[in-house]
Structure formats: C-alpha cells, structure tokens
C-alpha cells in the first residue's frame, strides 16, 4: 500500500515525548513489511527549529520524510507548504494517517482530505480527553470543538489506543477502532532479562515521562512522604525547568529531597537499564490515554503502579502485571505500603511480564492489524 503519514513533530524532536517514538516505530515497521510510506512533518523542536533540510525527501531510519518549515514557534506549528502538499496530493495514496489534533497543520490537513474526498485515519494521541478541555483549554478551544472541530473529526476514522479513550470520544460520533501503540520493548534493543529477585534496599521506585502537572508527581511525592519503608525515587524525563525546580523545592519541604534522584532524559539502552534496575515503576497521572512507558517498563519485568486514569489500567489489572490506584496521595501511599510487602508477587511479575508483553505487542502482528484498518477505508472509498 501507499500510505501517507502526517504529524507536526517528528524525529529528532524528542522534546515532544511518546508520540514521536510510537509513530516512528509504526512507520518503520510498515516500511519493513514492504509498504510505501511517506512522512510529512515540520521543523518544530520546542521553541527552536530542527536543523534539517526542508522541503525535500530525507531518509529517517528507513522512512522517507519531508520536513516543512514551521513559521510559528508554538504549538500551532503553522506550516502552509505541508498543508498544500496534502491538499494537492492526498488522493494519490491508498491511506492517509494523521497524528495529533489541536494544531493548524493537522486541522487543515483533515479539512483538505474532506474537500478532496479522502477519509483519513486520525490518531488524536490523547488530545480529545476530558482533561484537555477541563485543565488545559481556553473556552475558545471548547467553542471551536463544538462548532468546527467535531464536524471535521466526524470526517475521519479515529484510531484510539485504549477502550477508555474510545469511550471518551464516543460523543463525537465518528467511526473508530482501537489498536495499541508501537513500543520499543527491552527485547527490541537486545537487553538481557532482569533477575526475578531484584528486591533490594532501598526499595527503588522510578518515574519516567514528561515532567508536567498532568503526571501528578506532587501526589507521588506527598505519598512517599507518608510511607514507613526505606526508598529511593528516581525521576527521568524532560519538562519546563521552572516546574522541575518547584518540584525539587517541594520535595525538600516534605523531607524527602535526599531520597530523590533526577536522571534527566534517557534513551534506548540507558532507558531500558533504568527500567530493569528498579523495584517498581509509578505513573499516578490525572489523565493518560495509553502511556507507552508502561509497556516499555513491563517488557523489562519491572512491575507497575498506575492510576486508574491511565488508559492501560484495565490491561495491567487483567494481566496481573501490577496495581492501580486513585490520584489521591493517601491511596498512592497505601498501595505503596502494600506493594512493598508483596515480595513474592513482585518476583512473579518480573518473571512473567516480558513474555506477556512480547506476545501482546509484537511489531509484526501489530503492523498487520494497522494495515487491515487501512484496507477497510480503501474498500469503502
């Protein structure tokens, strides 16, 4: 198949987090399976621009990619040439897959496809959640959704990564399907499997994600200030420096500053080792549509504690790969105390998790499932 992918931010703009990794893995695996893929993106890299050739096809880890100049330095990512490419050429492809929402290129690319009689797949990447409207949005965004956005979304086939996300988007009235993201597992980078008897002193708890208020690190720190066992919390990821400094100050005030290590940004083998060398991974987010990091962590055998607002909460419970909690500090603390004393259960998860993840998130099987969804649109075109 000829497949056009569109995302406003792409490698090596890793500052934007998880979607760049999962989307690039999807495209790379489609190419490996023999499909003809073209990625359209912008030069966005936070407030800066990527130092890459613009407007010409580049080979990015096997994926033909065109970077278009971004004129705005914010999350609007204005790139007129990208939109024009989609408007003039979208009918040449068997499938068009657009990633993200709430930015100019994506909204106008969906509009362009509709005007040209093409129904694209759209992966909103968590941007249609209630948290987006309630916590991070102006009234203007909500008005746009009611008057224009919802109409455009109905002209797409939504790709959602968890049943909870599908239920949250049901009010839109668009066709949809659920498939998990592609994940870089421990096996994919050739890392050895960890020992089933990791439990050491102090009990090592890790967090790796974008450092943002949505992730509820304050709740985790508050919880840890209440527990009765010896622990070390290691935090990895990027975020606004002012917010990170605020968290560090807050941790000192809570009396746990010396029990926290800040690891910065980690990639590939270093990241996998970070996961494997821990006793427990915790993600107490207020909202998380999928959370790639949970699957990455489980692929190394490390058990997880995640909030019930994380899209993978049901999967973790059903598979017996960890625990869930509310976003309240008291509940997080209670769960941490209970988990600390479940040495046999922790060891059992370390043994069984890697094989379960490898089976459920096999790149070959996932690629075939995505292609089947693309073919459904082609059959009804």
Give the tens place of pLDDT for each residue, 206-248: 999 999 999 999 999 999 999 999 999 999 999 999 999 999 9
Each residue of 265-316: pLDDT tens digit? 998 889 999 999 999 999 999 988 888 899 999 999 999 999 999 989 999 9
pLDDT of residue 240: 92
Q: Is the peptide bond before 202 cis (omega within 30 degrees of 0)?
A: yes
Buried b (16+ CB within 10 A) or exposed e, 42-72: bbbbeeebbebebeeeeebeebebbbbebee
Numbered ranges of CATH 3.40.50.2000 in the chain = 2-182+362-379, 187-360
Give the span between the Cα atoms of 27 and 41, in whole angstroms.
13
pLDDT of residue 277: 95
Contact 166, 314 (CB under 8 A): no
Terminal alpha carbon distance of the chain: 14
pLDDT of residue 198: 56
Long-range contacts of 254-259 (CB under 8 A, 24+ apart): 254/221, 254/222, 254/225, 255/225, 256/221, 256/224, 256/225, 259/202, 259/224, 259/231, 259/232, 259/233
pLDDT at residue 18 above 90?
no
pLDDT of residue 132: 55
pLDDT at residue 40 above 80?
yes
Using alpha carbons, select from 335, 263, 342 the residue that is nearest to residue 306. 335
What fold does the segment set 2-182+362-379 form as a domain?
Rossmann fold (3.40.50)
pLDDT of residue 381: 61
pLDDT at residue 62 above 90?
yes
For residues 241 and 164, the model is more confident at 241
For residues 87 and 171, the model is more confident at 87
pTM over 0.85: no
Q: What is the mean pLDDT of the chain?
A: 92
pLDDT at residue 189 above 80?
no
Burial of 4 (0-12, 13-18, 19+ CB in 10 A): buried
Contact 42, 48 (CB under 8 A): no
Mean local confidence (pLDDT), 51-69: 98
Q: How confident is the model at residue 44 (pLDDT cuts 50, 70, 90)?
A: very high
Lowest mean pLDDT among 79-93, 122-136, 277-291, 333-347: 122-136
pLDDT of residue 163: 85
Mean local confidence (pLDDT), 85-93: 98
Asked if the 187-360 domain carries CATH number 3.40.190.290, the reply is no
Buried b (16+ CB within 10 A) or exposed e, 96-131: bbbbbbbbbbbbbbbbbbbeeebbbbbbbbbbbbeb
Mean local confidence (pLDDT), 309-337: 97
Give the containing element (helix H, strand E) for 311.
Answer: none
Q: Tell me the two tokens of residue 34.
A: 């023999």
Give the span between the Cα atoms of 71 and 42, in whole angstroms.
10
pLDDT of residue 249: 97
Give the span between the Cα atoms of 79 and 82, in whole angstroms.
6
pLDDT of residue 201: 81
Q: How confident is the model at residue 162 (pLDDT cuts 50, 70, 90)?
A: confident
Percent of the chain having pLDDT more than 90? 78
pLDDT at residue 193 above 80?
no
pLDDT of residue 199: 56
């Amino acid at each position: 198949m000829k497949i056009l992918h569109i995302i406003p931010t792409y490698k090596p703009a890793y500052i934007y987090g998880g979607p760049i990794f999962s989307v690039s893995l999807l495209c790379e695996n489609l190419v490996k399976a023999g499909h003809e893929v073209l990625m359209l993106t912008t030069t966005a890299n936070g407030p800066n621009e990527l130092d890459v050739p613009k407007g010409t096809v580049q080979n990015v880890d096997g994926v033909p990619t065109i970077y278009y100049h971004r004129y705005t330095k914010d999350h609007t990512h204005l790139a007129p040439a990208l939109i024009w490419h989609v408007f003039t050429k979208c009918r040449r492809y068997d499938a068009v897959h657009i990633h993200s929402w709430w930015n100019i290129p994506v909204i106008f690319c969906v509009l362009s496809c509709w005007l040209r009689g093409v129904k694209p797949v759209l992966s909103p990447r968590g941007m249609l959640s209630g948290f987006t409207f309630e916590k991070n949005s102006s009234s203007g965004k909500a008005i746009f959704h009611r008057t224009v956005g919802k109409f455009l979304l109905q002209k797409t086939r939504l790709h959602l990564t968890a049943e909870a996300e599908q239920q949250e988007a049901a009010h839109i009235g668009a066709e949809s399907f659920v498939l998990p993201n592609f994940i870089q597992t421990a096996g994919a980078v050739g890392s050895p499997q960890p020992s089933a008897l990791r439990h050491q002193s102090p009990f090592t708890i890790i967090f790796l994600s974008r450092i943002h208020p949505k992730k509820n690190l304050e709740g985790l720190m508050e919880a840890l200030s209440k527990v009765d066992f010896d622990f070390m919390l290691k935090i990895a990821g990027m975020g606004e420096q002012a917010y990170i400094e605020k968290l560090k100050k807050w941790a000192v005030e809570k009396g746990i500053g010396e029990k926290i290590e800040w690891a910065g940004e980690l990639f590939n083998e270093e990241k996998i080792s970070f996961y494997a060398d821990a006793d427990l991974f915790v993600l107490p987010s207020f909202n998380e549509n999928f959370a790639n990091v949970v699957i990455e962590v489980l692929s190394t055998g490390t058990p997880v504690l995640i909030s019930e607002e994380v899209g993978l909460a049901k999967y973790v419970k059903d598979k017996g790969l960890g625990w869930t909690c509310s976003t309240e500090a008291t509940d997080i603390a209670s769960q941490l105390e209970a988990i600390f004393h479940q040495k046999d259960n922790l060891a059992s998860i370390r043994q069984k998790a890697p094989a379960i993840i490898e089976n459920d998130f096999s790149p070959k099987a996932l690629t075939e499932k995505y292609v089947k969804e693309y073919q459904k649109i082609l059959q009804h075109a």
